[in-house]
Amino acid sequence: MHPTPLNTPKIPKALSLPFLPHTPQPSSQIPYFAIMHLTLTNTIRGLFTFGSAKKPESTDHSYEYIRGPIEERGPCPGLNALANQGYLPRDGKNLTLAKVDSALKTALHFSSPLAASLSNSLKPLLRKDGTFDLVDMRRHNVLEHDRSITRLDYGAPSNPSHDNFSFQPTMFTSFLADAGPGEEPVTIKSLAKTYARRKKESKKEGGKLGLGLWFVNVLQTVSLLNTAGKGGRLERGLLRTFYEEERFEVRILEDETERSLLGLVGKGVVLLWHVVF
């Protein structure tokens, strides 16, 4: 007799939204996953490498905030903001991994491993010429995924139009309410509360996350805290600017403190500790 082989689950390597006419449909088996863009393999690799030592400059030195139309934007407010402020092409088109890597280092002072891990996780979106558009990030379960803090789940019954890229004010209000009344800041503890709430809400509407996208979701939940937090806190004014306007405040751009991959992963671990305990 031959032993029956175990059916080990395939870990997806990629994120998503409604598709524009030129956007390819996702396959039934997604080959990649990422966190606003970080893949598990890229994250682990990044922890033991140093990425590119050079910190390239953006090709557009006019960083005035000019919000682009939603037709040219994806579900990630961070990359949308970088385009709105000129660190990425303002029309959100023909982006390359090198342009994303450069923008993350120049605007947000990401370390080389963190910038490389995030930009490399976007490879599933690339066309044959090595470019992608921000709207390509709408593709469900390629990079975009369920349980977003401020976006609807793609397949939720309450979302018949499959709009997984538009900012939802009511969801943002619930996010702030998790931190308490008044103007109390968002912290890792309140983020754990938000994470648990969105998990419950998503499951109720049939949302699903595989192991790979679960990892993405955890890191995505703490990504802004790693980028813009001060003393483990995110002020509400800063959050309103980021989510409602899709803009990074000057104080974030001028803070040259390096944001590290180890710091992001560490915050993810602390988040899970608060969720469990």
For the stretch 193-225, pLDDT in tens is 999 999 999 999 999 888 888 998 999 999 999
Bridge partners of residue 144, in order along the sequence? 140
Cβ–Cβ under 8 Å, residues 34 and 124: yes
User: What mean pLDDT value characterizes the chain?
Assistant: 85
State both tokens at 78: 């961070």
Secondary structure (3-state) at 117:
helix
> How large is the average pLDDT for residues 62-86?
96
Cβ–Cβ under 8 Å, residues 139 and 19: yes
Bridge partners of residue 16, in order along the sequence? 139
Polymer length in residues for the chain: 277
**Could you say which of 3.40.710.10, 1.10.489.10, 3.40.366.10, 1.10.260.40 is the CATH number of the domain covering 40-276?**
1.10.489.10
Per-residue pLDDT of 84-93, as tens digits, reads 999 999 999 9
Which sequence spans correspond to the domains of the chain?
Answer: 40-276
pLDDT above 90 covers a percentage of the chain that reads 73
Say if residue 20's pLDDT is above 60: no
Q: Given this model, what pLDDT does residue 211 score?
A: 85
pLDDT above 70 covers a percentage of the chain that reads 78
> Which region, left, alpha or beta, applies to residue 15 given φ > 0 means left and ψ of -120 to 50 means alpha?
beta
Choice among 10-19, 48-57, 152-161, 168-177 with the minimum mean pLDDT: 10-19
| Angstrom distances, CA of residue 69 to CA of 61, 80, 199, 230, 265 | 21, 10, 30, 31, 33
Orientation angle between helical segments 211-228 and 188-204, nearest 10 degrees: 150
Q: Could you tell me the pLDDT band of residue 62, with boundaries at 50, 70 and 90?
A: confident
Say if residue 60's pLDDT is above 60: no
> How large is the average pLDDT for residues 172-184?
96
Q: Could you tell me the pLDDT band of residue 15, with boundaries at 50, 70 and 90?
A: very low
Its pTM stands at 0.81
Q: Given this model, what pLDDT does residue 53 score?
A: 47
